Chains A and B, each alone.
Chain A
Amino acid sequence: MTTPSHEPGPRPRGAGGPTPLVPFSLLDPSDQNIVLFRGATVRYGRLTALRDITLDIRCGSSTAILGRNGAGKSTLLRAVLGWQPLNSGEIRIGDAHPQHARPRLAYVPQRHAIDWDFPITVRGVVEQGRYPSLGLFRRMGRDDGDRVDGALEELGISDLAHRHIRMLSGGQQQRTFLARALAQGGDIFLLDEPFAGLDLFAVEELEHILRNWESQGRTVLAAVHDPAIARRCFTRGVLLDTGLVADGPIADVLSPANVDRAYRREHCAHEGRPRSALTAEAER
């Protein structure tokens, strides 16, 4: 995977009206962008969760999606997965609608969403990555087994394969689910708060894995709560405050001014109105 030599700087947003819809054919003359947002907007009832996001995710980049609670990180991931219908705008994976690009998307859920007492072994979890392509009736074949072994191997958990998932450290649990995503065979990895609840050592481990994946040209899109960790582990960033605050190289995205805009007004939620609405108005 070649990376382009020029890096466009962060694009501050907020001034001016909503981005006009531009046809996809005019916007991406190259094939370097793999996930494309064009004016993507999501509302839950009267609350706007994602406001007019126009954004390109580079093929082979590792991108952290940043913002405070309720800034739209999870909504953005869900929209990419194709299960959050947009109120307006469009999202494309390559040139396909997200629902038609499912085999390419490998999702890694939050660790606390998992029942660690479920009767299943490490290998059992990783095998689940093969289920979507097996359908209802096909049995696990040799090729499937090889892929599972390969994923276990790559993440260094081959010798834990027959352990119950409760008997793992936090980092090993995280690697098990990364292995499942690998075994699935997609090329775009969507991680929901992968660092949540990990200890210092496990964070380091995951940093190493993500850097490795990036050098292999895998596209990673991760919701990340902590700016410091994002700076450490990701090359690019997308800063949200329901609208897009900035996107580009992580250091530029997390400039003091941007961080201030996206995180500062945390403590003015008593007005009885949704925080996001207040923020958006202030930005006008």
Chain B
Amino acid sequence: MSLHDLLLAPFSYEFMRRGLLSALLLSVSGGLLGCVLVLRRMALMGDALSHSLLPGVAAAWLLFGTSTVALFFGGLIAGLLTALGSALLSRLTRIKEDAAFGSLFIVFFGAGVALISRLPTRLNLADFLFGNVLGVGPEDLWLAGAVSGVTAALFAVFYRSILLETFDPVYYRATGGRGGLVHMGFLTLTVLNLVAAMQAMGIVLALGLFLLPAVSAYLWCDRFVSMLLLSIALAMLGSAVGILLSFHLGLASGAAIVLSLGLVFVGSALFSPRYGAVRSLLRGGGRLPGT
């Protein structure tokens, strides 16, 4: 097999070009968003959020068929309901926010699976959960472009607010910032990006495209800007490699992308010269707890 067959030939198919372009677009917004999720310790919350989209998507499918717009708003509503619902629960009851999120998302996810199992069409649950690059249509591409553009533009305009609110929310507030607004903004953007990535990556795996490059970049960078840029670059690299893998090996595209990004992550976690595990072990012991 020549290099051409390996790297370029797959993209003579239109669905491969669409899949790649969609993944690259979402790498930009996902790479940015992932950094914030990692630094704000919202990684698990993002995971819960992604699962909670399912009933919205399934209900939209049931009511409106395959319309991308309907799927988008279905997922968006379900995700925002989970986010707002758990915020309200943690404020009005004694339940803490993580427990509220954990409980609500599993209920939502259950409802989604139930809805899908009752669907009359021969809808493949696996495609919803794990993604199918074949399913990326022209509208999905437009959606990915729009969501990615909006996310990147918001990051550019609110860069300082995002940095301050993430690094030192108390100071941000003391200087007149509205931290709650920024937080809700993140949740909304996360839901938007998850929905946009759903077709190529699947609901369950989409978060991998956001999180893994960000965690990897976190292990290499000492500046916020460089972490953002490296995260985007890694997300793009992982997407391209993953889509090629999925083509050649017949893997689910979401899984293939997550696995390539996972390789980068494990490599970084082990061998990052400053913050890797190997270096810690060589220097004798890990870090003190809480430092």
Which residues of A are interface residues toward B (Cβ below 8 A)? 81, 83, 99, 102, 105, 107, 109, 113-116, 118-121, 124-125, 128, 131-132, 134, 136-137, 164, 180, 184, 190
Contacts and interface: CB of A to CB of B under 8 A. Distances in A.
B164 A102 contact: no
Interface stretch (B143-151, B169-177, B263-271): B169-177
A109 B171 contact: yes
A119 B170 contact: no
B167 interface: yes
A257 to B, nearest CB: 35
B224 interface: yes
Given A119-B218, A131-B164, A124 B170 contact: no
B175 A120 contact: no
Interface residues of B, number: 24
Nearest to B160: A131
A26 B126 CA distance: 75
15 contacts: A102-B174, A107-B171, A109-B170, A118-B39, A118-B166, A119-B218, A119-B227, A120-B223, A128-B164, A128-B168, A131-B164, A132-B175, A136-B161, A164-B222, A190-B174
A83 B173 contact: yes
A52 B252 CA distance: 66
Given A107-B174, A119-B218, A128 B224 contact: no
Contacts of A124: 223-224
Interface in B181-210: none
B70 interface: no
A125 B222 CA distance: 12
A109 B168 contact: yes
B163 interface: yes
Contacts of A102: 174-176
Nearest to B158: A136
Contacts of A81: 173-174
A180 B221 CA distance: 22
Contacts of B103: none
A109 B167 CA distance: 12
Contacts of A109: 168, 170-171
A99 B177 CA distance: 11
A105 B174 CA distance: 8
Nearest to A137: B157
Contacts of B227: 119
Interface string B213-241: 00000100111101100000000000000
Contacts of B226: 119
Contacts of B223: 119-121, 124
A126 to B, nearest CB: 12
A114 B168 contact: yes
A132 B176 contact: yes
A128 B222 CA distance: 16
A113 B168 contact: yes
Contacts of B161: 136
A120 B163 CA distance: 10
B222 to A, nearest CB: 4
Nearest to A136: B157
A81 B158 CA distance: 23
A30 B217 CA distance: 56
Contact of B171 (A119, A128, A136): A128
Contacts of A116: 291
A121 B226 CA distance: 12
B159 to A, nearest CB: 9
A220 to B, nearest CB: 15
Contact of B160 (A113, A125, A136, A184): A136
